[in-house]
Amino acid sequence: MMMAGAAKTLTNLCPSFPFPTKPQNQLTTSHAFPSTRLRHRAISAVANAAQPPLAAATATEGQYRVDVLSESLPFIQKFRGKTIVVKYGGAAMKSPELQASVINDLVLLSCVGLRPVLVHGGGPEINSWLGRLNIPAVFRDGLRVTDADTMEIVSMVLVGKVNKTLVSLINKAGATAVGLSGMDGRLLTARPAPKAADLGYVGEVARVDPAVLRSLIDTSHIPVVTSVAADESGQPYNINADTVAGELAASLGAEKLILLTDVAGILEDRNDPDSLVKKIDIKGVKKMMEDGKVGGGMIPKVNCCVRSLAQGVITASIIDGRVPHSLLLEILTDEGAGTMITG
């Protein structure tokens, strides 16, 4: 995978990370190098017949690590001190390997001076617990129908289980995380969704008060926010996690919003996985939507990105969460890991 080796090398910056320190074989994984220049440099070092084989290999490994760190410096300088909001879900939440990748990427980014905020849902976990309790999962137009019993399960699973599991994993990886729902510190105030009569306790974000987040971010904590919030009367609502991430990014004046998905990004041709659009502005992506090139589950994600950009977020990216270390690839490389939308 392009840049995978570089990403793995970067994760070794913080000694608490549970990643192996032995690098990949550079001759068999050429895509692991961050640039052609680095690839040629490492290959020539390996091929230098004047050095003993062991010494040549050691020099190559050390030079490779130094080169990766050196080329990461401009990206670290660009984002140091900046807030990034990451919406976590999809395959990256279901696979233990991808979950470890996301967690360690977040901790590394925090170590080098970025200010990450993690937002999550947990649809598969909710479905699993509903099944255990013999409560049917019902969807209309892609949205979960959330009656009182379902809302109780949603709150228990997202706030009590998924959120605390993620907090524990981040703490284990060497950072300090704090778990929150929208109800904590009046972070989010909800209101019923327009189709509440059909959907039950499905809500929208009515208001954001980021004060509790700012205090955590300013003290180098990683906030982990789940997408459950209450209205003015205290009634809990289930809110789309993409929407929550976008609204939090806007309220925090984030440098970047990142949505982890199960697709490569926005495709010029939905039937051609090789037609990835790497970078596009708001005008361009709206034109793609008008032309029907963006459809299905991608529409609410794009709308979320556009809304956050309109409220001051600098860039928003829809990236492939199935790719290991996709967060590092998106932030610390020119190639990125999906589609970046600009204002």
Return the SS3 of 62.
Answer: helix
Orientation of helix 163-172 relative to helix 96-111, angle to 10°: 60
Return the SS3 of 208.
Answer: strand
What confidence category does residue 30 fall into, taking pLDDT thresholds of 50, 70 and 90? Answer: very low
190/58 Cα distance (integer angstroms)? 57
- pLDDT greater than 80 at residue 44: no
* Sign of the C-alpha dihedral computed for residues 85, 313, 115 and 220 taken in this order: negative
- pLDDT greater than 50 at residue 52: yes
Sequence-distant (≥ 6) Cβ neighbours of residue 286 within 8 angstroms: 306
Q: At 226, list the tokens.
A: 């789940």
163/82 Cα distance (integer angstroms)? 24
pLDDT tens-digit map of 131-166: 999 888 888 766 788 999 999 999 999 999 999 999
Q: Which residues does the annotation mark as catalytic?
A: 87, 90, 123, 242, 301
pLDDT attached to residue 56: 53
Task: Please compute the mean of the pLDDT values over residues 69-86 and round it to a whole number.
Answer: 89
Q: Which amino acid does the sequence have at 211?
A: A
More confident residue, 143 or 332: 332
- pLDDT greater than 60 at residue 27: no
pLDDT attached to residue 86: 97
Q: Could you write out the DSSP letters of every residue in 277-333?
A: --EEEHHHHHHHHHTT-S-TTHHHHHHHHHHHHHTT-SEEEEEETTSTTHHHHHHHS
What confidence category does residue 295 fall into, taking pLDDT thresholds of 50, 70 and 90? Answer: confident
pTM of the model: 0.81
Task: Please compute the mean of the pLDDT values over residues 108-126 and round it to a whole number.
Answer: 92
pLDDT attached to residue 23: 40
- pLDDT greater than 90 at residue 49: no
What confidence category does residue 37 fall into, taking pLDDT thresholds of 50, 70 and 90? Answer: very low
Per the prediction, the chain carries an average pLDDT of: 83
Q: Could you write out the DSSP letters of every residue in 71-137?
A: HHHHHHHHHTT-EEEEEE-THHHH-HHHHHHHHHHHHHHHHTT-EEEEEE--HHHHHHHHHHTT---
Q: Which domains does the chain have, with CATH numbers?
A: 77-340 (3.40.1160.10)
In degrees, rounded to 5, the angle at the alpha carbon of residue 301 between the alpha carbons of residues 296 and 302 is: 95
Q: What length does the chain have?
A: 343
pLDDT attached to residue 284: 92
